[in-house]
Structure 1
Amino acid sequence: MALDRPDAPSALALVASIPDLLWVKVGLELFCSAGPDVVRQLRGEGLRVFLDLKFHDIPATMAGACRRAARLGAELITVHACSGREALAAAQAGACEGAAREGLDSPTLLAVTVLTSWDAARFRAELAVTESPDDYVPRLAALAVAAGIGGAVCSPHEVAVLRGAHPEPFALVTPGIRPAGAPAGDQRRVMTPAAAINAGASRLVIGRPISAAADPAAAFAACCAELSILGR
């Protein structure tokens, strides 16, 4: 579950309201507000943390950032695939080194391909990328694999193509998940939880359909019920 909350107290209150929750995603707003301590606090509550800061910089900076993130105990960490092969490889090495210093298992780095808020028309008009997201995403995923990255973040609509090219254990993590009937919000390429799993997703990221619900625990249970039909 994406912790769409502006500060640590509200994030911790949200997770406390959902007793069966295991994995949480900490994004930019919460991390900028609460800092590294929020990761430690969540881990102290027995939760596993996906740190979604989407690192994108020169190789040395990527390595240092991932080293520190791994030392916090984050088990999933995002980096931008378009930072390039050298930076991705440096990030992977830094994460492994940081985890080893703390006696932790190495985290899985996830290469962000194309954000789910983009559509093909804006991709061409604003970024001058002539390839559609459907063509560009496999290119970035292949770059991540070549750099030794353990997975990718992609739209659920790209999962089937990527899974065909990159079998397990390569992880495919999909935001843009919306249960049937939920509003899309600022996401453009969305899919229901069951459809994304059937397409080959390893993990789903669900935020506002749960966190903004009148009863987050009930919304979480409904998502779990949909997935339990699939045996996941």
Structure 2
Amino acid sequence: MYSGFLIPGKSQHDLVSSLGTCVNDVGPPQQQHLILLNGVWKLISRISLTKDYLSTVNIWLEFTSKHFTATEVNTLLGDVLKRVRSALNQEQVPYPMLLKLISTALINSPDPESLFPLTNFQGILSIFQRDSVGAGDGVTWGVIEALLSNHPGDFTDPTLVQHLLTLCGALHDSINALTTEDERRQLSQLIITFIRQVNFGRDFEQQLDFFVNTRAAFSNLESVLVSLVQ
């Protein structure tokens, strides 16, 4: 059914992306969801360039997040992880596009809380290091906001806390002489919101370690440092 999905002058990933945009606007009948996704995914898996692959996946992840459970989202993200890990040593991975998958899943899922424990959801986050995440395109900021606003209650998982610390650290490291006071204020408030949502309960040593690491990570933002002693 899908093998002949080609139009002269159009690449396959453009066509698959366009189809995804259409079904995100007007979804097909529910009984066709799985058939459609399985057929399309065979085409997506054949896209050779990682950049084109991720941009197409992002569109279909919106469809998957809206109409399927966390199990299917986890499976899709697992395929992404395999692809990205195999590409890490061969080409430059477009980290902003990879980060955007996190926001897409959280924003479009009817049950975003169910995504946080997923092994492949956290696997995507684990790829990022502080010096690999850009901050100028707004993607990192959007991901942090999506994580903070959709997480159920306090952050108690040390691994997830470390992922957020990495992303917030990337934003902090983007501060330079051109950063306005208003931008500093907004960034400080975002980081303070994150800090106040971290709660390791009666594990006082881990909580103290977090505060020590946070103080070292955000040394250029005075209001963040002040919040740590309030």
- Band the TM-score falls in, shorter-chain normalisation: 0.3 to 0.5
Give the number of the structure whose residues are more often helix, by fraction.
2
Q: TM-score, normalised by structure 2?
A: 0.33
Give the number of the structure whose residues are more often strand, by fraction.
1
Q: TM-score, normalised by structure 1?
A: 0.33
Structure (1 or 2) with the larger CA radius of gyration? 2
